[in-house]
Structure 1
Amino acid sequence: MKTTITTKDIDIAGRSRHWHEAIGRAYFPLDLTFRSPEAFDGELSMWQLGEVSLSRLTSDALLYRRLPKHFQQPGPEEFLVTLPAKSEVRFSQGGKEVRAAPGSFFIERSHEPYEFSHAEHADLWVMKLSSAMLGTRLRAPGRFCSLEFDATNGANGLFVDMIHLIPQRYDAMTEETRSTVGRQLVDLLALALQSDERVLTSGASSVRAAHLGRIEAFVRRHIANPDLGPDEVAAGCGISVRYLHELLRDTNQTLGQWIRDQRLAAAYEDLRNSADGRSIGEIAYARGFTDQAQFSRAFRNRYGITPTEARIGQRGEG
């Protein structure tokens, strides 16, 4: 359901602390610096879409810092997708800086320090999702962080339009529909990111990047095949096995490692989907694992919890 947090009825002396706590609950722990803490005003509305959350926040000038102390405790990596609707936002992470104006969006990752600020009263839309969700759709999703994306054209515009439409339709949706819409929103985000020319040409020629895109798509379509390997992928993409391995050197992973990570991320998303009634074994087999015990060990090594704990955690949050 929709949740709204506001400073309107909070005593002036407690507003900055109230906003600090609200931000930590909605996203993750951050340090906040207020331009005028004694006169700060802000409102945050949130809509839950299964494993995806959507929020809109309006507030006076602020500086947010994500510091190493905030992610010392183990936990899954998460991404925030921020769309400024009013005022310019400055964001820096990993040695890159973005100055994003309305009509654009950018991505922040939780497991690296960053600074995020706006000098004027701002109106922001923010989508929060796990690295696992985006990782099932895109290879190495962290490479999309700290880039500014046009929010007005093609798939990018469709992604933004859907974000703006969701709050209007939210109350009429069932929980199952909300989860489905959340996954579709991630699909649209992945489509928007893949179509960006800078991403296609970063670190490789456009031809090599196009081949990598086809490899990603082929693996996703055939991830249920337990025998999926270099011969099948190369043949399906119309390239030689030797060239396949050469292309994958750009990713710093072998094909086997990448397929395994995609299987685990897809299974994690399935387990966290409240509408998925399959057993853990059925999910493991559907994602290409032939041995449930092996799947459970690999899952725990990757996420620090068992598949059962992932499912119980989802139901407990629901």
Structure 2
Amino acid sequence: MLDETVFRTDALPVADRFDYWVELLGRTHAPMELRCDCTDDFRASQRVLDLGAVTVWSATYQPLVFRRTPKLIRQSDPEAYHLSLVVQGSGTGEWPTRETAYKPHDLFVTSTSLPNDIRSSTGGPVTIIALETPKALLPLPPDMAPRLVGAPVSAREGMGALLARFLTQLTADTTAYQPSDGPRLGTVLNDLVAALFAHLLEAGDRLPPETRRRALTLRIQAFIREQLRDPYLTPATIAAAHHISTSYLHRLFRDEDATVAEWIRRRRLEAARRDLTDPALRAVPIHAIATRWGFPRAADFSRAYRAAYGTTPKDHRHQGLNGHK
């Protein structure tokens, strides 16, 4: 299981709940002014996943007003981007460059370095899944932030849907992961965020060539992860899907310490490795898991697995599932 922290306001005296919630959000996000009509009996819960430099948290709370002011920014700025996937509830957000209404299946972006005023609608509780990632990890010019914050993003299609599915699946059940998987999952999420930002900016020639190149690489990597089970996933099909030549695709991956084929093989081995130690898949034969992830020949899978992890798939499954008996 991943490293996680769970908090519920009902564990505290009624009089302390709202003030503690304000303090908690200041630690998990950034210091904010909060207002609520239910401070006399405030109810909220939060679950935080530690993924190395990236943090993911899900929360349910009564309608609030969140305000990040210039004064608070001057006092403390973790210099991060915050993405919220709205699961339940609606409201509006005001940023220096726009005002946006949000509803379930929307994603919206905020920056800890820019003021905002986010108001939940009145009525029932609000549920979100949120992601925090340091700006330093994203290969986009910092002056592009005003174009990103508050931009409406649908979680039903395209890059927004890809990120939303990953966040939803991750927060639904962490038992299949080990604490050491946290930083790797954080890296995947950061890549998806960078690809989403590049898509939102529609930057074209406004971005430096190296940044455009990196953004394209991130989009391709996200595409590969989405298509890993496709037995016909090859450099040629990947290049065609992104309207580039195969030779240019290979040049993009020169900085990834792996060829395109090697990068695909590593991701498939990682996926198979997770499935092998998933208690829910205990009855699924090893060869079926291998085939699912693009290794139709058992001998090829065993050889690649041993080369990558120093053990056989059978031995790793036995060791990994012992703790779940």
TM range (shorter): 0.5 to 0.7
1:2 Cα shift? 1.3
Structure 1 residue 216 corresponds to structure 2 residue 211:
yes
Q: Tell me, in whole angstroms, the C-alpha distance in 2 between the residues paired with 1:71 and 1:46.
A: 23
Q: Percent of aligned positions with the same letter in both sequences?
A: 20
Of 96, 109, 116, 1:107 maps to 109
Q: Is the alpha carbon distance of 1:215 and 1:104 closer, same or farther for their aligned partners in structure 2, counting shifts above 3 Å? A: same
Q: Is the alpha carbon distance of 1:95 and 1:210 closer, same or farther for their aligned partners in structure 2, counting shifts above 3 Å? A: closer
Q: What is the SS of the residue equivalent to 2:34?
A: strand
Q: Provide the residue aligned with 2:89 in structure 1.
A: 87
- TM-score normalised to structure 1 length: 0.61
Q: Is the alpha carbon distance of 1:48 and 1:118 closer, same or farther for their aligned partners in structure 2, counting shifts above 3 Å? A: same
Q: Provide the residue aligned with 1:179 in structure 2.
A: 183
User: In the TM superposition, what whole-angstrom CA distance separates every residue of 1:23-58 from its partner, at most 9, and x where no partner exists?
Assistant: 111111111111121121111111111111011110
1:156 Cα shift? 1.7
What are the equivalent positions in structure 2 for 1:23-38 lying under 5 Å apart?
23-38=25-40
Q: Is the alpha carbon distance of 1:168 and 1:115 closer, same or farther for their aligned partners in structure 2, counting shifts above 3 Å? A: same
User: In the TM superposition, what whole-angstrom CA distance separates every residue of 1:221-257 from its partner, at most 9, and x where no partner exists?
Assistant: 99xxxxxxxxxxxxxxxxxxxxxxxxxxxxxxxxxxx
Of 1, 10, 22, 1:8 maps to 10
Q: Tell me, in whole angstroms, the C-alpha distance in 1 between the residues paired with 2:206 and 2:15.
A: 57
Structure 1 residue 42 corresponds to structure 2 residue 56:
no
Q: Provide the residue aligned with 1:234 in structure 2.
A: none
Q: Tell me, in whole angstroms, the C-alpha distance in 1 between the residues paired with 2:193 and 2:46.
A: 23
1:210 Cα shift? 5.6
**Number of equivalent positions:** 211
1:211 Cα shift? 7.4
Q: Is the alpha carbon distance of 1:75 and 1:66 closer, same or farther for their aligned partners in structure 2, counting shifts above 3 Å? A: closer
CA contact (8 A) 2:198 2:215 kept: no
The two structures, once aligned, show a CA RMSD in angstroms of 2.3
1:65 Cα shift? 0.9
1:178 Cα shift? 1.2
Q: Tell me, in whole angstroms, the C-alpha distance in 1 between the residues paired with 2:20 and 2:75.
A: 23
What are the equivalent positions in structure 2 for 1:1-318 lying under 5 Å apart?
1-73=3-75, 75-119=77-121, 120=123, 121-134=125-138, 136=139, 138-140=140-142, 141-142=144-145, 143-196=147-200, 199-200=201-202, 209=204, 212=207, 215-218=210-213
Once superposed, which parts of structure 1, at least 4 consecutive aligned residues long, lie more than 6 Å away? Answer: 219-222
**Aligned partner of 1:216: which letter?**
T
Q: Tell me, in whole angstroms, the C-alpha distance in 1 between the residues paired with 2:73 and 2:141.
A: 23
**Aligned partner of 1:68: which letter?**
P
Q: Is the alpha carbon distance of 1:164 and 1:144 closer, same or farther for their aligned partners in structure 2, counting shifts above 3 Å? A: same
- TM-score normalised to structure 2 length: 0.60
Unaligned runs of 5+ in 1: 202-208, 223-318
Q: What is the SS of the residue equivalent to 2:10?
A: coil
Q: Tell me, in whole angstroms, the C-alpha distance in 1 between the residues paired with 2:186 and 2:59.
A: 19
Q: What is the SS of the residue equivalent to 1:81?
A: strand
CA contact (8 A) 1:52 1:127 kept: yes
**Aligned partner of 2:212: which letter?**
A
Unaligned runs of 5+ in 2: 218-325
Q: What is the SS of the residue equivalent to 2:118?
A: strand
Q: Tell me, in whole angstroms, the C-alpha distance in 1 between the residues paired with 2:19 and 2:49.
A: 23
CA contact (8 A) 2:94 2:150 kept: yes
Q: Provide the residue aligned with 1:310 in structure 2.
A: none
Q: Is the alpha carbon distance of 1:10 and 1:188 closer, same or farther for their aligned partners in structure 2, counting shifts above 3 Å? A: same
